[in-house]
Chain A
Amino acid sequence: NAGVTQTPKFQVLKTGQSMTLQCAQDMNHNSMYWYRQDPGMGLRLIYYSASEGTTDKGEVPNGYNVSRLNKREFSLRLESAAPSQTSVYFCAYGGPDVSPLHFGNGTRLTVT
């Protein structure tokens, strides 16, 4: 999707493994977000970042860490993956002003 690159697109992990989901936006926007999407649950906010160097917890932060080292990149790390973290993860930039969120294409993560 325009302006947002998410990698990888698919990932399978074993329980206990770690990984980092990468997200980069080239629109020079301050705010970035990580959501997870599960059937019947809509999108739930994991973490967000209002500006470079700041991060805040969302609705479901447990088991995740994030890093916003520069304005362009916002990464999501699973230190010890659990089957409950099987989900589709979306990164977005935009908001919370007049701009809507612009979403990446998502990462489909399976933890076995």
Chain B
Amino acid sequence: ELKVEQNPLFLSMQEGKNYTIYCNYSTTSDRLYWYRQDPGKSLESLFVLLSNGAVKQEGRLMASLDTKARLSTLHITAAVHDLSATYFCAVDLMNRDDKIIFGKGTRLHILP
């Protein structure tokens, strides 16, 4: 059974600081997704990581995937208040079945 664990679950940080959110998963997969959700809103896709060593960057966010360690990271550089949101990672089991399983999310609060 695929388990996806994120940590931390809650993070409060100052503007201008750097931080990393971790996503561990329990079984082999080469596909991992990151999403953002604002309060009361739906989820929007941030990154799709499709292979070991994949790195994607958009603005102050950078995501990477290490399939051997079953670990993905979402790194925030010089945080700004607009990045306050909940961030989810999700993993799919690829050809074994089509389930896409989410972590519990990391609620990020950036203090001005």
Residues of A within 8 A of B (CB): 1, 31, 33, 35, 40-45, 48, 50, 56, 58-59, 90, 95-106
Residues of B within 8 A of A (CB): 6, 9, 31, 33, 35, 41-45, 48, 50, 88, 90, 92-94, 97-105
**Number of A-B contacts defined by CB within 8 Å:** 68
Q: Given A90-B42, A90-B43, A106-B42, do A33 and B105 touch, yes or no (CB 8 Å)?
A: no
4 closest A-B pairs by beta carbon, nearest first, are A42-B104, A100-B45, A96-B92, A43-B102
Q: How far is the CB of B103 from chain A (nearest CB, A)?
A: 6
Complex interface: chain A residues within 8 A of B90 (CB)? 43, 101
B100 near A103 (CB under 8 angstroms)?
no
Q: How far is the CB of B73 from chain A (nearest CB, A)?
A: 18
Q: Given A90-B42, A96-B92, A105-B42, do A42 and B105 touch, yes or no (CB 8 Å)?
A: yes
